[in-house]
């Protein structure tokens, strides 16, 4: 099983940015924990602050050896129709994740324009949102 873990704008600052909201673990630490937890899975970890690079990465899923992706698109989740269309264009499942409970935050965060193109959404469990997403996706794919 090969899974991409894809993070968008500002997620490189996880651990130091608003730790009360996003937690105090760095993205690197979260990625290491995922590797330790899911030893049988081959991961690729990717982070970018650029919308275009994020779209290119999602597009690259098609025809790749990857079985699917876990995506935290950051604020792009709330307004990027281009990213939503890229997710819809690929046949591999993409799971939307958020560290914070976006439904309990500002109004603009309560809407995601990518959710309908994603297999599912996990939000509000801090770093464990990623763990839950990997668990759910791999169980779904091996069923
Ligand atoms: C986020 C939530 C978004 O609203 C925000 O813009 C982020 C992080 C989260 O993981 O909770 O950058 O995706």
Residues 77-123 pLDDT 10s: 999 999 999 999 999 999 999 999 999 999 999 999 999 999 999 99
pLDDT at residue 143 in the model: 76
Residue 55's Cβ-side half-sphere holds a number of Cα atoms within 13 Å equal to 12
Q: Is the pTM above the cut of 0.85?
A: yes
Instruction: Report the alpha-carbon distance of residue 46 to residue 110 in Å, rounded.
Output: 25
Number of domains in the chain: 1
Atom of ligand 1 nearest to the CA of 100: 11
pLDDT at residue 134 in the model: 98
- Ligand 1 pocket test, candidate residues 80, 98, 118, 127, most atoms within 8 A of CB: 98
Q: What percentage of residues in the chain have a pLDDT greater than 90? A: 99
Domain coverage including residue 48: 2-142
Q: Are 54 and 48 in contact (CB under 8 A)?
A: yes
Residue 94 is part of a domain; what is its CATH number? 3.40.50.9100
Atom 12 of ligand 1, nearest CA residue? 74
CA distances from 14 to 41, 67, 110, 122, 124 (A): 23, 26, 20, 17, 15
pLDDT of 26 over the 80 cut: yes
């Amino acid at each position: 099983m090969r899974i991409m873990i894809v993070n968008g704008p500002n997620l490189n600052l996880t651990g130091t940015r608003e730790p009360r909201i996003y937690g105090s673990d760095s993205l690197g630490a979260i990625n290491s924990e995922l590797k330790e937890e899911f030893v049988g899975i081959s991961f690729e970890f990717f982070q970018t602050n650029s919308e275009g690079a994020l779209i290119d990465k999602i597009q690259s899923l098609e025809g790749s050896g990857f079985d699917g992706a876990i995506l935290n698109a950051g604020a792009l989740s709330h307004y990027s129709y281009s990213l939503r269309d890229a997710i819809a264009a690929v046949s591999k499942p993409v799971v939307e994740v958020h560290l914070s409970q976006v439904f309990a935050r500002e109004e603009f965060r309560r809407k995601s324009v990518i959710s309908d193109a994603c297999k599912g959404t996990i939000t509000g469990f801090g770093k464990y949102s990623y763990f839950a997403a990997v668990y759910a996706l791999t169980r779904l794919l091996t069923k």
